[in-house]
Amino acid sequence: MARWVCFDAILLLLAAWVLAADSPRPIPKDTLPAKLPLDDIPLGLGPRSVPKDNPLTEARVKLGRKLFFDPILSADATIACASCHQPDHGFAGGAEKPVGIRGQKIARRAPTLLNRAYGASFFWDGRAGSLEEQALRPIEDPTEMGSSVADVVKRLKADKDYKAQFEAAFDDGITADNLAKALAGFERVLLRGDSRVDRFRRKGEHDALTPQERHGLWLYESKARCWRCHSGSNFTDEGFHNTGVSWGNDPADLGRFAVTKKASDKGKFKTPTLRGLSLTAPYMHDGSLKTLDDVVEFYNRGGGANPNLDTVIGALELSEEEKRNLVAFLKAL
């Protein structure tokens, strides 16, 4: 009898664990400052691109902010934008694979939204050409929010608070285009700069970086070859490269190829910004590298061998000290 009771208890525990794994996760709270600056550009960043038909206004940014944290955008009111793009993780996913509606695992990790105002294309495969276009895609993705834009617009029109906020932000009130514009406006003010690296480079503050970090910067710009892809003030060329990450996995993820259908784009993924890097682990589009040490080691050995490996990728032959110093510099970003 005792054995059967014990077995039943184990089954109950297993059932509870499965239910917990599939149950909605708490939506992160909005812990951002009460008022977000619209015009201030942090040290180290250049002018950002703002569409003429979607200027940054307090009303639009405030509305987009509310929408970002609201599960009203998902079919069953369990998932918000913040569920995958978590503020405490640099507006990136804190897990290898994000969890969407009904506990579904999303194929790629959520990239950071920091400094996306400087983006040329969006998503790991570049399928969207603007933040406005990007903002609506997750709503209709069956594994993410599992809804439709039309249904979301209906729900928003039935909400008195949203009706008032949309009318304050847009002349024509609640529309699909305005939903996209509000979300994109909020994302455009998520800027990160003024790091110790910026103070070293832009203001000449020599002691802003330690000797170890300064050596890491030298490696970044020379022997380690990081600058070839992570260039410019936002530390990304906004391009697509095959580094061998996830190559050969089953099922295959061919990245940019799914958009262009060009054989040369197989295995290429968008170069992410390195701003706020310490916050955005795990790394790569599949979250397969858990730490910055893992990332540096991956590139030190020459990435992942495959027929489409980018020509800029090759063994670096960094010493253990050089690897530590490079990681120290990356953390200073």
Task: Return the active site residues.
Answer: 144
User: Largest Cα–Cα distance in the chain?
Assistant: 76
99 backbone dihedrals φ, ψ, rounded to 5°: -110, 125
Sorted by sequence, the CB contacts under 8 Å of residue 53 that are 6+ apart come out as: 181
Sorted by sequence, the CB contacts under 8 Å of residue 156 that are 6+ apart come out as: 72, 162, 163, 166, 174, 179
Answer yes or no: are the C-beta atoms of 202 and 215 closer than 8 Å. Answer: no
> 274: helix, coil or strand?
coil
Sorted by sequence, the CB contacts under 8 Å of residue 15 that are 6+ apart come out as: none
Where do we find the tokens 């250049």?
Answer: 46
Tokens of 321: 């000290």
Please report the sign of the dihedral spanned by the C-alpha atoms of residue 166, residue 89, residue 301, residue 200. positive
Query: Terminus-to-terminus CA distance in the chain, angstroms?
Result: 61
